[in-house]
Amino acid sequence: MSNYSINPGDAAPVSIELETWPEGRLKLADLQGKWVILYFYPKDSTSGCTTESCAFRDALPDFSTADAVIVGVSRDSVKSHENFTTKQNLNFPLISDPDEALCKAFDVMQIKKNYGKEYLGVERSTFIINPEGVITHVWRKVKVAGHVDEVLSTLKEAQS
């Protein structure tokens, strides 16, 4: 049994509308009818987040072929997302969630430890949402290496 408030089989919270780079505004309801890969990451332009985002960038053609869209989410500002997107040539939208509305809805705000201090931060997490808006797969505490390949193969399995 999961200690998280949102799990596979649950309807994704689709009505929260937030600013994105580059679209302007986005809510998950706008993406219904497509498979959605929604990944939450702690911070723009940090090493793990850059590696993960670039891996999703490089795999976008494979996800597109599988009729899936990729959307990244962090608490960074739209301006920060713009810089990150430009520098890394990202090819999918990034949602800016400074008030943690979407982060809380997906229960990714978790107690983290850094140098012995506890703080509330974004737990690196990925969700697959099917065209009906139901969460089919969840990864928590994501390790970046190999993650995107695993998400892609899981997606293809879920579609078959």
Rounded-to-integer distance, Cα 69 and Cα 118, Å:
34
- Going by C-alpha positions, the residue among 6, 66, 15 that lies closest to residue 40 is 6
All residues at 6 or more sequence positions from 17 whose CB lies less than 8 Å from its CB, including other chains: 25, 26, 27
Helix, coil or strand: residue 131: coil
Catalytic residue, chosen from 49, 70, 73, 152, is: 49
What string of DSSP letters covers 73-119?
A: EESS-HHHHHHHHHHHT--S-EEE-TT-HHHHHTT-EEEEEETTEEE
DSSP state of 41: -
Our answer to whether residue 49 is catalytic in this structure is yes
Known catalytic residues?
49
